[in-house]
């Protein structure tokens, strides 16, 4: 299995979040209880419009390598520049952390809004959204509230990527198609494909 970066920036992205939630309804009272489990994930619908011949060929080759679903796509959260101040060399502060609250260190010291709600970060191969603004303290420690939850505990001092985050995805179907308009602009093509986060 190989992880392959997307070679052509898409012209449009639709982001979807699927939570892994159990619903339990009492047969006697009708009371409904919801329980959130791990395994929430991203789905990205990407589209590329009016690609010229060079970009079309690069994208075709990339999709061919993914269509068997043996390989994985590395995809960035296109169009979502982070708002936080960041700085420093952020790392996981302590082994064994999973879930939606993760402690890190190595951040720039005493920064208000070191991370901002809606920013994206990468831990391991997982792409996360920051859910709340977070400040760094005088020791460079920060606690991040994240979704999707961290499923696999990273090692102590593992890097936290806040500058070029991306996630690991598979093509949702072993089929992909595109159009071709050879009479327009020397030959243009458009593509669309759905990618689902690989929940390891």
What pLDDT was estimated at residue 37? 72
Name the helix (H) or strand (E) containing 58. Answer: helix 53-67
Predicted confidence at residue 33, as pLDDT, reads 85
| Cα gap 70→94, rounded to integer Å | 33
pTM: 0.86
pLDDT at residue 185, rounded to an integer? 61
Enter the CATH code of domain 3-76+167-197.
3.30.200
Q: Mean pLDDT, to the nearest integer, of 15-37? A: 83
Q: Domains of the chain: which residue ranges?
A: 3-76+167-197, 88-161
Q: Which residues of 72-82 are buried (b: 16+ CB within 10 A; e: fewer)?
A: bbebbbeeeeb
Return d(Cα 29, Cα 31) in angstroms, integer: 5
CATH no. of 88-161: 2.40.30.290
pLDDT in tens, 82-119: 999 999 999 999 999 999 999 999 999 999 999 999 99
What local confidence, expressed as pLDDT, does residue 178 receive? 85
């Amino acid at each position: 299995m190989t992880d392959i970066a997307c070679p052509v920036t898409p012209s449009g992205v639709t982001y979807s979040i699927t939570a892994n939630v159990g619903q339990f309804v009492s047969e006697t009272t009708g009371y409904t209880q919801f329980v959130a489990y791990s395994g929430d994930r991203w789905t990205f619908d990407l589209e590329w419009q009016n690609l010229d011949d060079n970009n079309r060929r690069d994208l075709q080759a990339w999709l061919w390598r993914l269509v068997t679903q043996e390989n994985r796509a590395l995809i960035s959260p296109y169009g979502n520049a982070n708002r936080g101040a960041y700085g420093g060399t952020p790392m996981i502060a302590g082994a064994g952390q999973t879930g939606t609250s993760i402690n890190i260190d190595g951040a720039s010291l005493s920064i208000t809004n070191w991370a901002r709600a809606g920013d994206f970060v990468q831990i391991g191969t997982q792409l996360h959204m920051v859910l709340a603004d977070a400040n760094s303290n005088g020791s460079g420690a920060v606690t991040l509230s994240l979704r999707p939850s961290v499923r696999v505990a990273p090692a102590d001092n593992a890097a936290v990527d806040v500058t070029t985050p991306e996630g690991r995805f598979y093509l949702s179907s072993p089929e992909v198609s595109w159009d071709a308009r050879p009479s327009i602009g020397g030959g243009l093509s458009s593509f669309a494909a759905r990618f689902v986060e690989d929940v390891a």
